[in-house]
Amino acid sequence: MYLPNRASNILNKFGWLILSPVLFVFLFACEKVSTKVGPIQTETPLIDKHFNFSTTNEVDVAISAKDAQGKPIRMTNIQIFDKDPEEGGILLMKGGTDNTGKLSAFKAIPSYITEVTILGNYLGVPDKIIVPVSNQRISYIFTPVLLNSGERLATANARTTVGPYTFMGAYNKQGVPAYLSMPNDVIDADFLTAINTSLPERQKVNPAYLASGLSTDVSLVKETELIITFVNEGGSYKNAFGYYTYPLATPPQSAADIDTKTIVFPNASFTGSGGGLASGNKVKLPGKIPAGTGVGFFIVVNGWNGTSISETADILFSNPALNAGTPAQKQQSVLLNYKDKYILAFEDKKRSLPGSDDDFNDVMFYITSLVPDAVDDEEIPPTEEEEDCDKDGVPDENDAYPCDEKQAYDNVSEGTLAFEDLWPSKGDFDMNDLVVNYKHNIITNSQNKVVELKSTFDLIAMGARYKNGFGFQIPKLTSSQIASITSSHDKTLLENGQDKATILVFENAFDFVPSGQDAMINTYAHLPKVTCGIVTISIKFNTALTMQELGSAPFNPFLIGDQKRGYEVHLPGYLPTSKADLSLFGTKDDASLVAEGIYYKTAEGMPFALHLPVGKFKYPVEMAAITQTHLKFTPWAISNGTTFADWYLDLPGYRDATKIYNQ
């Protein structure tokens, strides 16, 4: 509703602060024409004056990676999600370990997040880890899984042939063989780099590895003994792994031609991932295998049933001719040569069916011969060399800027900023006088240092007539630390006379709306939606910064009321800039207590601005208070944020959809 004069209002506090059924009507005094008005607040404070309506928590991220010898691993595609990405998880950040094997980061995340899912995207270490957010910290150490020797010695089910399979010996309740050879192989950082370059997680296999004529089985030209070493499993299945032998002169033409299928690893799964194996566990195949023998391999797909191997589960063979599907889909494994270690890697879902990601690293081993040159490896391709155009240590496939040595990773934070613009007077708390969606992309280099901040501000709504401006301050930086600013808007500037780096994004929101539009943009549901403008800003720094030195998005955003520079409206608890008119604090409806660090709140504890860490916050329509539209806002605020921390999400019972702008 728009009135020519500012009226005092009915003491009906949004339906949740009603003090009595009596309606008090107040006379109003004349004020500035075309000022939006709203309900007067009760004098009874219900919200703790120290509660700042923060919807995020700043967290330190400390991740490290080392091999079994304690040497650093360069993991270049670490992703942190708010939950499992297969269940719709949202990417919170991305980075990689530096030359010392460490990733240090800093980010504000939604305060309702109590745990995160970390994807290592790196073969040889656990891939998907759930980590708690504890004391505003996310920490984890990636390392090859180490086996508890006590688990290995607990034996059961000692038998040889059961159904279609022959077992090499006993195994424990997790399917770990009792006949593992000791000591375990050491999976070092160089080997891990080789397999991650050649068979990267969640990327389709190099088509060259599927070319016809390449070896997929091991062919022996000398008598030898073979050792099978477990390296990695990257799928959700509990696969069994085995081998068979045949004369090279008469290879099997079908699975029925195989005389004996011997199980090597009944459950080829990591400890903590449904099994008990560790990278480097190995088994020596029985006896000496004569020259002229072919050794083929197979997996029983999800074959481990908790006690033994399912006799009905599908089998996928290393020999494509024995698998189902079209000729182009028959191959389910690849064989690669790394310094006379023959890496055997399977795709554990039938490629002829939906669901296969074709990365060929769902279960991985390597084969070594105790006799040199016993394996005919002429048709076994070598592992790939890492492609790194800018030589920054981040492979091109993981580098957002593959040929720019100064940049490597994008880390995007997005959210919505919603303002009331009458400060120090209070308005109607519909939080739509100025609504801006933001995206801050913190661009880091290969060492996770910040080199650029690329920000986008999308003007969404203006439920007012004031010609409001908008800016943000980076509280941890001074202007001297900024090398340059470029903007798509010619009035964006780095403001002089500020003790901290302050960027004025625009001085008048109405510069971005079509001519003739002068009020109430995108706040009335019955009016056509207006497309406003977008401002894109690039800020480069004199020296690379840590994320902690930069600080977290949204930094310190603020509204400038009706082009009056001293009238700044910040998020509650955030400091004004050096250009703010400090004499306005404590006047009219502002109840800031500067000595106590309390800023931008009413006597009832209500804010003048909100930050929502979602890309497109559904804000109230005109004259509908946020307490009436978002039904869990009030209990959240009264609880000091301990309940309903996700109050702004679209969950059952959280909204009154009739009072939300939905165009």
Residue 476, pLDDT above cutoff 70: yes
Residues 213 and 326 in one domain: yes
In this prediction, residue 354 carries a pLDDT of 84
**Residues 358 and 239 reside in one and the same domain:** yes
Do residues 357 and 445 share a domain?
no
Give me the pLDDT at residue 155, please: 34
User: What average pLDDT does this structure show over 84-89?
Assistant: 94
Same domain (yes/no): 427, 473? yes
The structure's pTM equals 0.84
Instruction: Report yes or no on 25 lying in a domain.
Output: no
User: Is there a single domain that holds both residue 521 and residue 624?
Assistant: yes
Mean residue pLDDT across the chain? 90
Domain assignment present for residue 18? The answer is: no
pLDDT at 238 over 80: yes
Q: What 3-state DSSP class applies to 398? A: helix
8: confidence class by pLDDT, cuts 50, 70, 90: very low
Question: Over 60: is that where the pLDDT of 31 sits?
Answer: no
> What string of DSSP letters covers 124-166?
TS--EEEEE--SSEEEEEE-PPPP-HHHHH--B---SEETTEE
Whether residues 365 and 412 share a domain: the answer is no
- Other residues' Cβ atoms within 10 Å of the Cβ of residue 574: 22
Instruction: Look up the domain containing 650 and give its range.
Output: 406-659
Domain annotation covers residue 361: yes
Cβ pair 365, 348 in contact under 8 A: no
Mean pLDDT along residues 384-401: 94
> In which band, very low, low, confident or very high, does the pLDDT at 14 lie, cut at 50, 70 and 90?
very low
Q: Residue 521's pLDDT band (boundaries 50, 70, 90)?
A: very high
pLDDT at 17 over 70: no
Residues 200 and 321 in one domain: yes
The pLDDT-based confidence of 147 (bands split at 50, 70, 90) is: low
Adjacency order of strands within the sheet including 78-81: 91-95, 78-81, 115-119, 128-132
211: Cβ–Cβ under 8 A, 6 or more apart, which residues? none
What share of the chain has pLDDT > 70, as a percent?
A: 91
Percent of the chain scoring above 90 in pLDDT: 83
| Assigned domain for 540 exists | yes
Domain count, the chain: 2
Give the pLDDT band of residue 447 (cuts 50, 70, 90). Answer: very high
463/537 same-domain check: yes
Kindly state whether residue 170 falls inside one of the protein's structural domains. Answer: yes
- Calpha distance 64→76 (Å, rounded): 12
Q: What is the reported pLDDT for 271?
A: 87
Residue 315 pairs in a beta bridge with 300
Residue predicted with more confidence, 24 or 512: 512
| DSSP label at residue 397 | G
Check residue 355 and give its pLDDT: 78
Query: 351 and 286, same structural domain?
Result: yes
Q: Does 65 reside within a domain?
A: no
Same domain, 529 and 609: yes
> How confident is the model at residue 236, as a pLDDT?
85
Whether 62 is covered by a domain: the verdict is no
- What is residue 661's predicted lDDT score, i.e. its pLDDT? 98
Instruction: Pick the range with the lowest mean pLDDT from 132-146, 158-172, 181-195, 355-369.
Output: 158-172
Residue-level pLDDT at 145: 76
Catalogue the E-assigned strands of 422-555. 434-444, 450-461, 469-474, 482-487, 493-494, 501-506, 534-545
Question: What token pair was written down for 575?
Answer: 């400091």
233 in the same domain as 158: yes
pLDDT digits (tens, 9 = 90+) for 412-431: 999 999 999 999 999 899 99
